Structure 1
Amino acid sequence: MAIVGGGPAGSRAAFHLARGGARVALLDDSHPREKPCGGGIPARALALVGSSVAALSGGVPIESARFAHLDRTATVQLADPAGLLRLAVASRRSFDSRLVEIAQDAGAVMVPSRTIDIHREGGAWRLATRGEPVAARFLIGADGPGSLVRRRVASPFGRRDLSIAAGYYVHGVTSTQIDIAFVDEPSGYLWSFPRPNHLAVGICAQADVATSAPLLELCARWIDTNVSGGTRERYGWPIPSLTEGALRAERPSGDGWMLVGDAAGLVDPITREGIFFALRSGQLAAESLLQGADPAAAYAERLSDAIYPELIAAARLKARFYRPRFIALLISSLQRSGRIRAVMADLVAGEQPYHTLRGRLLRTFEVRMMSELFASR
Structure 2
Amino acid sequence: MKRVAVLGGGPAGSMAAAGIAAAGLDTILLDEKLAWEKPCGGGITFKAYTRYPFLLENDRPKKVVSDAVLTEPSSGSVQMGLTQPLVIFSRYDLNGLLLKRAEDAGVQIEQDRVTGLERKGSGWSIKTRAGALDADFVVVATGARNALRNVGTEWSAADTMYALGYWVPDERSRIDIQFFPNFEGYIWVFPRCGHLSVGICGKGESAPKMRARLEQYMLDNGIPLKDAKFYGHMIPALERPSWRSNRVSGEGWMAVGDAAGLVDPVTGEGLYYAFRSGDLAAQSILNEQHDPAQRPALYRSLIHGEFMEDLTLGAGLAKRFFIQRIMFSSVPARMIELMRRSPRMMEIVQDLFSGTQGYLDLKARLLANLNGTFLEVCIGSMLGHRVVKEGR
TM-score where L is the length of structure 1: 0.93
Matches within 5 A, 1:96-175: 96-149=95-148, 151-153=149-151, 156-170=154-168, 172-175=169-172
Partner of 2:192: 195
Q: Tell whether the 8 Å contact from 2:167 to 2:195 is kept in structure 1 after alignment.
A: yes
Aligned to 1:16: 19
- 1:122 deviates by 2.5
**Residues 256-282 of structure 1, C-alpha deviations (whole Å, 9 max, x = no match):** 011100000000000010000001001
1:227 counterpart (222, 225, 230): 222
AA aligned to 1:369 is C
**How far has the Cα of 1:51 moved from its partner?**
3.0
Deviations 1:59-102 (A, max 9, x none): 111111111111511111002xxxxx431111111111111111
CA contact (8 A) 2:235 2:268 kept: yes
Change (3 A) 1:290 1:106: same
Report the counterpart of residue 364 of structure 1 in structure 2: 370
Whether the 8 Å CA contact 1:241–1:268 is kept in 2: the answer is yes
Unaligned runs of 5+ in 1: 80-84
Question: SS state of the match for residue 9, structure 2?
Answer: coil
Contact 1:28 1:111 in 2 (8 A): yes
Higher mean displacement: 89-98 or 120-129: 120-129
Distance 1:368 1:299 in 2: 40
| Distance in 2, Cα, partners of 1:277 & 1:344 | 20
Q: Which residue matches 1:244? A: 240
Question: Kindly tell me: are residues 326 and 364 of structure 1, through their superposed partners in 2, closer, same or farther at Cα, counting changes over 3 Å?
Answer: same
Q: d(CA) in 2 for partners of 1:360 and 1:174?
A: 37
SS of residue paired to 2:284: helix
- CA deviation digits over 1:213-272, x for unaligned, max 9? 111111101111113446321111100001121111112111101110000000000001
Specify the alignment match of 2:389 in structure 1: none
Shift in alpha-carbon separation, 1:197–1:244, aligned structure 2, 3 A? same
Superposition deviation, residue 54 in structure 1? 7.1
User: C-alpha distance in 2, partners of 1:109/1:180?
Assistant: 40
- Give 1:266's aligned residue: 262
Is 1:6 aligned to 2:12, yes or no?
no
- Aligned residue in 2 for 1:297: 297
Q: Is 1:354 aligned to residue 359 of structure 2?
A: yes
CA distance in 2, matches of 1:114, 1:155: 20
Distance 2:357 2:121 in 1: 47
Matched, 1:314 2:314: yes
1:10-49 matches, within 5 Å, as 10-49=13-52
* Range that drifts further, 20-29 or 54-63: 54-63
1:8 shift after superposition: 0.8
Q: Is structure 2 residue 282 aligned with structure 1 residue 286? A: yes
**Aligned to 1:318, what secondary structure does the other structure show?**
helix
Cα pair 1:43 1:53 within 8 Å, conserved:
no
Please provide the CA RMSD for this pair: 1.8
Pick closer, same or farther for the CA change 1:20–1:320 going to 2, 3 Å: same
Alpha-carbon shift at residue 309 of structure 1 (Å):
1.7
C-alpha contact (below 8 Å) 1:163/1:240 kept by paired residues: yes
In structure 2, do the counterparts of structure 1 residues 370 and 90 end up closer, same or farther at CA, with 3 Å as the change threshold? same
Over 3 Å counting, the alpha-carbon distance change for 1:16 and 1:337 in structure 2 is same
Pairwise CA distance, 1:314: 1.0
**How far does residue 56 in structure 1 lie from its aligned partner after superposition?**
6.5
Query: For the Cα contact (< 8 Å) 2:154–2:246, is it kept in 1?
Result: no
Distance in 2 between residues matched to 1:54 and 1:25, nearest whole Å: 26
1:52 Cα offset (Å) = 5.5
Contact 1:43 / 1:52 at 8 angstroms: preserved in 2?
no
Q: Which runs of 5+ in 2 are unaligned?
A: 387-392
DSSP-derived class of the 2:247 partner: coil
AA matched with 2:317: L
Distance 2:143 2:181 in 1: 28
Distance 1:140 1:52 in 2: 22
Taking structure 2 as the reference length, the TM-score comes to 0.89
Q: 1:304 deviation in Å?
A: 0.9
The aligned counterpart of 1:74 is: 78
Counterpart residue type for residue 351 of structure 2: D
The answer as to whether partners of 1:48 and 1:280 remain within 8 angstroms in 2 is: no
CA–CA separation in structure 1 for the residues paired with 2:123 and 2:71: 53
- Partner SS state of residue 356, structure 2: coil
Q: Greater shift after overlay, 43-52 or 335-344?
A: 43-52
- Compute the displacement of 1:184 (Å): 2.0
| Distance in 1 separating the partners of 2:13 and 2:235 | 17
Distance 1:176 1:56, change over 3 A: farther
Q: Check conservation: 1:145, 1:157, Cα contact below 8 A.
A: no
